Chains A and B, each alone.
Chain A
Amino acid sequence: MTELLDLTAAQAISRIQAGDLAAGEVFETYRERAAADDLNAFTWVADPAPDGVPSGAPLAGIPLAVKDLFCTEGVPSQSGSKILEGYRPPYTATAVEKLTRAGATLLGKTNQDEFAMGSSNENSAYGPVRNPWDRERVPGGSSGGSAAAVAAGLAPWALGTDTGGSIRQPAALCGIVGLKPTYGAISRYGMIAFASSLDQAGPFTRDVTDAALVLRHMVGQDPCDSTSLAFPEEIALPQGVDLRGLTLGVPQELTGDGIEPGVREAFNATLALAEQLGARVETCSLPHAPHALSAYYLIAPAEASANLARFDGVRYGLRVEGDDLLGMYTQTREAGFGAEVKRRIMLGTYALSSGYYDAYYGRAQQVRTKVAEDFRAAFERFDLLVTPTAPSVAFRLGEKVDDPLAMYLNDVCTVPMSLAGIPAISIPNGLSDGLPVGFQLCGPAFSENRLLQAAYVLEQALDFDGSAARR
Chain B
Amino acid sequence: MSRELSAVLGHIEKISELELDGVAPTSHVIDVVNALRPDEPRPSLPRDVALANAPEPLEQGFGVPSPGAS
Contacts and interface: CB of A to CB of B under 8 A. Distances in A.
Interface in A226-250: 226-227, 229
B57 to A, nearest CB: 10
B68 A197 contact: no
B41 to A, nearest CB: 14
B23 A226 contact: no
Contacts of A298: 12, 15
Nearest to B56: A319
Interface string A307-327: 000000111111101111111
B32 A342 contact: no
Interface size, A (range) = 35 or more
A318 B55 CA distance: 7
A199 B17 CA distance: 28
A323 B62 contact: no
B24 A227 contact: no
Interface size, B (range) = 35 or more
B70 to A, nearest CB: 7
A323 B15 CA distance: 43
Interface stretch (A1-9, A142-150, A172-180, A289-297): A289-297
Interface string A258-291: 0000000000000000000000000000001011
B65 A325 contact: yes
A24 interface: no
A163 to B, nearest CB: 13
Contacts of A229: 30, 32
Contacts of A464: none
Interface string B19-49: 0100111111110101111000000010001
Nearest to B49: A90
B24 to A, nearest CB: 6
A369 B25 contact: yes
Interface stretch (A38-46, A127-135, A355-363, A454-462): A355-363
Contacts of B35: 226-227
Interface in A329-371: 339, 342-343, 346-347, 359-360, 362-370
Nearest to A371: B26
Contacts of B59: none
Contact of B29 (A223, A319, A363, A421): A421
A439 interface: no
Given A226-B34, A421-B29, A325 B68 contact: yes
A318 B68 CA distance: 21
Contacts of B37: 223
Given A297-B12, A324-B67, A339 B1 contact: yes
Contacts of B27: 197, 365
Interface string A86-119: 0111110000000000000000000000000000
A405 B8 contact: yes
Contacts of A346: 1, 5
Contacts of A366: 18, 20, 23-26
A365 B52 contact: no
Nearest to A339: B1
Interface in A391-416: 403-405, 408
Contacts of A405: 4, 7-8, 11
A363 B8 contact: no
A360 B12 contact: yes
Interface of A: 87-91, 182-184, 197, 223, 226-227, 229, 288, 290-291, 293-295, 297-298, 313-319, 321-328, 339, 342-343, 346-347, 359-360, 362-370, 372, 403-405, 408, 419-421, 445
20 contacts: A183-B30, A197-B28, A197-B29, A226-B35, A227-B35, A297-B11, A314-B62, A314-B64, A315-B62, A316-B54, A321-B65, A324-B66, A326-B67, A326-B70, A339-B1, A365-B27, A366-B18, A369-B25, A403-B7, A421-B29
4 pairs of A and B residues whose beta carbons are closest in the complex = A324-B68, A421-B29, A365-B25, A316-B53
Given A325-B65, A346-B1, 14 more contacts: A197-B28, A223-B37, A229-B30, A298-B12, A326-B68, A328-B64, A343-B8, A347-B9, A364-B15, A366-B18, A366-B20, A369-B26, A370-B20, A445-B30
